[in-house]
Each structure stands twice: as C-alpha cells, then as structure tokens.
C-alpha cells in the first residue's frame, strides 16, 4: 500500500458521497413535482456505488502480489426508484384525473432526510480519516527530524 493510497480511497468516497447528497437534494426539491419530462410526476432517484477498478494489467499484478488491493469507491450509476406513485385526492389541482386524484412523486421527504443525514455522516467520517492520515504522516516526519 502506497503512502497516499488511504487518502485517495477516502477522497473517492468524498466524491461519491457528494454525488449522493446532490441526488438526495434533488429528490427533496422535487417532492411535489406532479409533472416532469414525459408528463408523469418526478420519480425518486438513487445512487449506486461500486468499487473502483484499476486497469487490467494493474489488477493482474495486484492479484498475485501481497499488496493491499483497495482502490476506493465510485458512482456506477444513478437509477430511478420503481416504487409506485402516491395518489392524493385534490380535485382542484390542474393535474387531477376525472376522480379528483393527483399522481404525486414517490419521494418520502422523511426517508430522504434520513438518507441525507447518513450521507453527511459518511462524508464527515471520510474527512476525519483523511485528517487522521495527515496527522500520522506529520508525526512520522517529526520522528525523522529528531
């Protein structure tokens, strides 16, 4: 494991968690959007993470060495949640059907807030890990100066 591998791994997680926070914010902002592209209500989006992979040759070398093989995390894709839309009785709404029901987005603001807190805590944990690594490196340099 190289000197800066742990910082690079945590930095990749920071980027991934920032994307997750952005998508959650978008979900919350569109929690009441009854008409989006295609005429349907907004559909909740989710971020899918996966392990970052190196090039084929580097992966082959890592496979047969005793070195640490972690490369970090990345956002592989952003998918739409396929849970059904909510139906809300609101006959005066311009998007109401003939029975007075409006299809609302499948976004639950409380669930989004819990996910947001989780993403923020993961982001903070990675910042703490980076700062701890920096402190260890600085202490190692101080030992070398004595």
What are 46-105's pLDDT values in tens digits?
A: 999 998 876 666 666 666 665 556 678 999 999 999 999 999 999 999 999 999 999 999
Q: 15 is written with which tokens?
A: 């980027």
Report the distance separating Cα 51 and Cα 58, nearest Å: 15
pLDDT of residue 62: 63
Q: Are 131 and 26 in contact (CB under 8 A)?
A: no
Do residues 105 and 44 lie in contact, with contact meaning Cβ atoms separated by under 8 Å? yes
Report the C-alpha gap between 13 and 4 in whole angstroms.
14
Say what the pLDDT of residue 36 is: 86
Q: What is the mean pLDDT of the chain?
A: 88
Domain definitions of the chain by residue range: 5-31+45-80+107-145
Is 3.40.50 the CATH classification of the domain at 5-31+45-80+107-145? no
**pTM summary value:** 0.82
Question: Phi/psi class of residue 38: alpha, beta or left (left: φ > 0; alpha: ψ in -120 to 50)?
Answer: left
């Amino acid at each position: 494991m190289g000197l800066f591998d742990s910082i690079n791994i945590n930095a990749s997680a920071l980027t991934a968690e920032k994307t997750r926070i952005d998508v959650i914010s978008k979900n919350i902002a569109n929690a009441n959007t009854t008409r989006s592209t295609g005429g349907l209500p907004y559909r909740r989006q989710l971020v899918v993470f996966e392990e970052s992979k190196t090039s084929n040759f580097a992966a082959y070398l890592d496979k047969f060495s005793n070195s640490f093989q972690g490369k970090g995390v990345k956002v592989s894709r952003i998918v739409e949640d396929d849970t059904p839309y909510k139906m809300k009785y609101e006959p005066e709404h311009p998007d109401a059907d003939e029975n007075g029901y409006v299809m609302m987005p499948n976004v639950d603001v409380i669930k989004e807030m819990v996910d947001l807190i989780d993403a923020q805590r993961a982001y903070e944990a990675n910042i703490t890990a980076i700062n701890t690594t920096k402190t260890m490196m600085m202490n190692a340099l101080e030992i070398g100066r004595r």
